[in-house]
Structure 1
Amino acid sequence: MKQLVLEPDNELCDLLNDFIQEFVFVHHNYDGQDERRIEELHKRRNFLAAYCKLIVYNVAPIRRAADVFKHYIKCYNDYGDIIKATLSKAREINKMNCALTMELAMQALFTDMLQRHPNPHRQLPEFLELKELAKRFSVMFGLDAVKNREALTALHRAGIAFAALEQAPGGAPPHLLFLEPLGEFSGKLLRQDKRHVLRFLDARIVQVVQWADDWAPLAAYRSLLTDAPDERPPPACCHYARRTRQHDDDDDDNADSDQDPPG
Structure 2
Amino acid sequence: MGRLDNKVAIITGSAQGMGAAHAKLFVEQGAKVVLTDLNEEKGNAFAAELGENAIFVKQNVASEEDWATVVAKAEEAFGPVNVLVNNAGITMAKNMLDVTVEEYRRIVEINQVSVFLGMKTVAASMAKAGGGSIVNISSLNGLVAGAIGYTDTKFAVRGMTKAAAINLAPMGIRVNSVHPGVIATPMVVQEDTKAAVEAFSKMIPLKRVAQPEEVSNMVLFLASDESSYSTGSEFIIDGGMSAQ
When normalised by structure 2's length, the TM-score is 0.36
The structure with higher relative contact order (CA 8 Å, sep 6+) is 2
- Compare CA radii of gyration and give the structure with the larger one: 1
Question: When you count helix as a share of all residues, which structure comes out higher?
Answer: 1
Structure 1 or 2: larger strand share?
A: 2
